[in-house]
Structure 1
Amino acid sequence: MNSLLERTPTHITISLFRGWLVVAAAVAMGIVFGILYSWSVVKAGIPASWGWSNADKALPYSVMCVMFALVMVPAGRLQDRFGPRWVVLLGGVLAGLGCVIAGVGGGSKLAYVVGFGVFTGIGVGFGYSALTPAAMKWFPPRNTGLVVGIVVAGSGLAPVFLAPLTTWLLNRFAVTAATGVVEQGVSQAMISLGVLIWLVVGTLFWFIENPPLGFAAVPGTHDRRMSSQQETGWQRMVRTPQFWLMYLMYFVGASAGLTFISVAADLGRQALGELAFLAVVVLALGNTVGRVIAGAVSDRIGRHLTLFAEFLFQGGMIGALFWASKQATGNGLVILAVLFCVGLNYGANLAIFPAACKDQFGIRYFGLNYGCLFTAFGLAGLVMPLLNGFIRDVTGNQDMSYILIMAMLAVAALMSLVSRQLAAGERG
């Protein structure tokens, strides 16, 4: 009798409803956990009276990115062990606290490095580590890519919401200094953003939950990939060729985006003049759409073929960007199209690799496993800007950076085919 009840349409409907409820809450929280995307706006509002150099303004963001990547490993382990709800709540508390610490610190660089860099970085890492696995577990493996794409689209949309909100806050709390100079309200804006994170996460974390033990997304059915899949712990995972192929591909995909997104945005501002804000919006939309489309496409044609197409496409877009950088005057529509595609391919990585990690190594240890894989993204964020700066200092331009990234993308495309062959051999 219980077996019959488990297979009823009502059971499936309730399960799907609860699954999509988790996804919706994850998307909303992903937007506020995308607080790192507001830093470019905050940085521009830092008043000259604080005496910060350009390097000082970059430091809190750099520290945040490093902490975000590093904490994904222990946060993933906690998520696997204790479940996603309390991990995401801890992430929200820390992320909001970091913004508040920065805000009450006035113009203190240490307050911003410790607050926004360390606390908010750790909080964002905890948040991201819990959202994706919780959502995936409510759906059958054939929908993994689509679900992951939708969840991570939340952070892709963050600039669309947080950038204008941050700008409004900076102007809302602006004051006129004794010298007569109008200074934007950076401190008050940071405190407000911290409170916003607390409100959103504190309201929605109740919806982030794993399915009950023994749950099947579609009762009575079995997915071939799931039935043949072996749950793999991180110790075994890091000894497999597949992991290191995925790691290198993730590094390359992230490197292409992190190295040239700022370049593309600058070209867009130069070509668009007063409409420069469109560069940020189009880039964010491309980033978001790429996550959803790539996830859905990879469910149909496979992760490896999707990566192969994405790497080749991104190589072509970097080439187009190289060409555009050499033109005396850029065509605004062409630049926007390239911006959208660069963002689209960059976002695709953040949907495909979590899904590929789950396909290859299972769901039981996914939090920790993906945390290990995600360090490739953090490593790209640490190494590639430094390498790009070194090349520019030595050669006086970025031409070698374009050539290097395009070559890396070509090699990564070949790696995706090798990885596909290895996966086919493992399935036998």
Structure 2
Amino acid sequence: MDRTALSSSDSGNRWLPRYTILALCVGAYFAIRFSQLLVSALVPSILGTFAVSRAAIGTVLGGMWAAYALAQLPSGVLGDRFGPRSIVLAGVGLTAVAGLLLAGTPSFVLFGVSVLLLGVGAGLYYNAATALLTARFDAIGQAIAVHRIGDPRVALGAGVAVSLLVLGAFARRVPAAHSIRTDESLRELLAPRYLLTLISRPTLAYTTVLAVLAEFVGLATMSLLPTFLVQHHGYTLLRAGLLFSVLAAIRGVLQPLAGRASDRLGRDGVLALMMGAGVIGYGTLSSSTAFVLAVPAVVLAGIAMSWAPPLQSRAIDGLTESEQGAGFGLVRTIYILSGALGTAVIGLVADVAGWATSFLVLTALLAIAFLLLLSNRAVGRWA
């Protein structure tokens, strides 16, 4: 299949079909992440509306990320077996349905069910979309990074509208791709021995450990940061929402740069800088409530939370094309499922020991990731 970097040098001035696919993937991912992040931003209001504990809301949001994680491996394998286009369409469609349910939820139980459905739809989408892009672009880090650039009920409705528009455009404009492994059954592709062989490779195991640490921090942050800023720092919902928007904006701006930098400068060096920034940012948020320090601390946290393009590219680097569906799906299942514990664990720590302690835990996890990256750069054991 024809592949290219994200440049115009080899395409003249023509808009190539691969860029249409990239644009549609960006739109789809925007709709999915918009819905997920909006749920997190509404946590302070949900706590009051449904009168539930922080541990309860953390568990429900953790369930969303667990569903997201458990859909990763099936997404990759089904994409290999039946082609990624169909799986992308299914994922975006489920996201739209979940958004409609969330926009009109009257109870915490229905809220939880809708959030789980959102997790499944989002999980089905991502690996299949990544397969579409990595088959068409050589600059994997940059392609993944560009892909990731993406009244509360009205806002959720906007997410649904974008999902439906992208669903229609994807079905019409993206051709069905050939299946990579049609000669193998789903049982063979999901065989535990085969999956264990993949994940036991030193480079893939090391990458997965880093991803588990980063995802644990990331999911806890995206789910609980607004509540942390309101309850620990004493900020208004408006101020907390603005800081949360700063975090999201930093991630949106930095991820393309991080992906491109990792293509050119190496994955581990870029990741080490990002984790180091996170240690400073989270440490500041946990130790000080001054707004003048909170702003740069949130910026540094946003830098750390932009880790996905270089780290996901690191995982793909260690897989052949025929292994990417199952291998990348397996890595994402492990790290997202492990990371999904973050919302419940950090919510529980906040209930028992306070918000400052809970964010110190996040700081410590980023410090471990930072030290692992420095160790690998020095020794090269898990290249």
The higher radius of gyration belongs to 1
1:270-319 Cα deviation digits (max 9, x unpaired):
45785544212211111212311211110111112222222222112222
- The corresponding residue for 2:127 is 129
1:152 to 148, 157, 160: 148
CA spacing shift, 1:46–1:137, aligned 2, 3 Å: same
Q: How many Å apart are 1:25 and its aligned residue?
A: 1.0
Structure 1: how far apart are the matches of 2:226 and 2:268?
A: 27
Moved more, 204-213 or 250-259: 204-213
Q: How many Å apart are 1:11 and its aligned residue?
A: 7.8
**Structure 2 SS opposite 1:415:** helix
Structure 1: how far apart are the matches of 2:369 and 2:118?
A: 32
- The corresponding residue for 1:410 is 367
1:70 pairs with 2:55: no
- The corresponding residue for 2:287 is 323
1:370 pairs with 2:328: yes
**Structure 2 SS opposite 1:153:** coil
CA spacing shift, 1:111–1:194, aligned 2, 3 Å: farther
- The corresponding residue for 1:159 is none
Structure 2: how far apart are the matches of 1:193 and 1:199?
A: 10
CA contact (8 A) 2:61 2:343 kept: no
CA contact (8 A) 1:94 1:119 kept: yes
1:169 pairs with 2:131: no
Letter in 2 for 1:38: L
CA spacing shift, 1:280–1:101, aligned 2, 3 Å: closer
- The corresponding residue for 2:213 is 252
CA contact (8 A) 1:27 1:153 kept: yes
Structure 1: how far apart are the matches of 2:14 and 2:83?
A: 18
1:278 pairs with 2:234: no
1:386-424 Cα deviation digits (max 9, x unpaired):
433444455x33454454444433332332355551465
Q: How many Å apart are 1:82 and its aligned residue?
A: 2.0
- The corresponding residue for 1:162 is none
User: Normalized against structure 2, the TM-score is what?
Assistant: 0.79
- The corresponding residue for 2:3 is none
**Structure 1 SS opposite 2:322:** coil
1:344-391 Cα deviation digits (max 9, x unpaired):
21122x212221111111333223212211134423433333433444
Structure 2: how far apart are the matches of 1:284 and 1:133?
A: 25
Letter in 1 for 2:263: D
1:288 pairs with 2:259: no
**Structure 2 SS opposite 1:297:** helix
Letter in 2 for 1:284: A
1:119 pairs with 2:117: yes
CA spacing shift, 1:280–1:365, aligned 2, 3 Å: same
CA contact (8 A) 1:255 1:380 kept: yes
Q: How many Å apart are 1:209 and its aligned residue?
A: 5.3
1:309 pairs with 2:267: no
CA spacing shift, 1:43–1:251, aligned 2, 3 Å: closer
1:118-176 Cα deviation digits (max 9, x unpaired):
32221111111222221122112xx211111110122xxxxxxxxxxx53727xxxxxx
1:63-84 Cα deviation digits (max 9, x unpaired):
3221111111111111122222
CA contact (8 A) 2:43 2:227 kept: no
1:77-108 Cα deviation digits (max 9, x unpaired):
1112222211111112222223334567x524
CA contact (8 A) 2:226 2:240 kept: no
- The corresponding residue for 2:163 is 197
CA spacing shift, 1:42–1:281, aligned 2, 3 Å: closer
Letter in 2 for 1:18: P
1:36 pairs with 2:2: no
Letter in 1 for 2:210: M
Structure 2: how far apart are the matches of 1:57 and 1:403?
A: 20
- The corresponding residue for 1:181 is none
Letter in 2 for 1:247: T
1:24-78 Cα deviation digits (max 9, x unpaired):
1111111111111121455666698x85534666665333221111111111111
- The corresponding residue for 1:26 is 25
User: Unpaired segments of 5 or more residues in structure 2?
Assistant: 1-7, 181-193
- The corresponding residue for 2:98 is 98
CA contact (8 A) 1:247 1:376 kept: yes
CA spacing shift, 1:207–1:15, aligned 2, 3 Å: farther
CA contact (8 A) 2:100 2:160 kept: yes
Structure 1: how far apart are the matches of 2:101 and 2:346?
A: 32
2:229 to 261, 267, 281: 267
Structure 1: how far apart are the matches of 2:212 and 2:47?
A: 36
Letter in 1 for 2:127: S
- The corresponding residue for 2:185 is none
CA contact (8 A) 2:267 2:310 kept: yes
- The corresponding residue for 1:234 is 195
What root-mean-square deviation, in Å, do the aligned CA atoms of Structure 1 and Structure 2 show?
Answer: 3.6
1:359 pairs with 2:317: yes
Structure 2: how far apart are the matches of 1:353 and 1:31?
A: 20
Structure 2: how far apart are the matches of 1:193 and 1:57?
A: 22
User: Unpaired segments of 5 or more residues in structure 1?
Assistant: 1-8, 155-165, 171-188, 215-232
Q: How many Å apart are 1:112 and its aligned residue?
A: 3.2
Q: What is the total number of aligned residue pairs between the two structures?
A: 357
Letter in 2 for 1:89: L
CA spacing shift, 1:245–1:52, aligned 2, 3 Å: same
